[in-house]
């Protein structure tokens, strides 16, 4: 059985080091259709925002997953592969914009 390695995080507030495990990630609704994913330092409870998501963000994630599946069926030298990569990058950039917009509204 493979061992899963978790990222080690240093708390900005108390400098406590801890593993970022999926079990400490929490999601809360902050707007009509906006969710915030975050985690807290287990020692001082300082809150770290990971991402904000809305319907468009989630639809983009689904499309990115579909693009990855299509890309595995295309040869590396194919023009279609470059187009798929460009589309994936655009969707990723859009999701960064969406999350950044909500960070300005709801806080980082």
Q: What is the pLDDT of residues 64-81, one digit of tens each?
A: 999 999 988 877 777 888
For the stretch 25-40, pLDDT in tens is: 999 999 889 999 999 9
Domain that holds residue 86: 7-106
What are φ and ψ of residue 82, in 5° steps?
-60, -40
14 part of a folded domain: yes
80 part of a folded domain: yes
2 part of a folded domain: no
Instruction: Please state, as a whole number, how many other Cβ atoms lie within 10 Å of the Cβ of residue 22.
Output: 8
26 part of a folded domain: yes
Contact 10, 24 (CB under 8 A): no
CA within 13 Å, CB half, 11: 16
Residue with the larger pLDDT of the pair 108 and 89: 89
39 part of a folded domain: yes
Look at the chain and report how many structural domains it folds into.
Answer: 1
């Amino acid at each position: 059985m493979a061992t899963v390695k978790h990222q080690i995080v240093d708390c900005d507030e108390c400098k406590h080091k801890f593993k970022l495990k999926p079990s400490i990630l929490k999601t809360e609704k902050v707007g009509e259709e906006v969710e915030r994913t975050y985690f807290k330092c287990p020692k001082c409870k300082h809150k770290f925002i990971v991402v904000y998501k809305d319907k468009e963000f989630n639809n983009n994630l689904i499309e990115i997953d579909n693009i990855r599946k299509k890309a595995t069926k295309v040869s590396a030298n194919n023009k279609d592969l470059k187009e798929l990569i460009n589309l994936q990058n655009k969707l990723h950039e859009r999701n960064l914009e969406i999350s950044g917009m909500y960070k300005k509204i709801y806080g980082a």
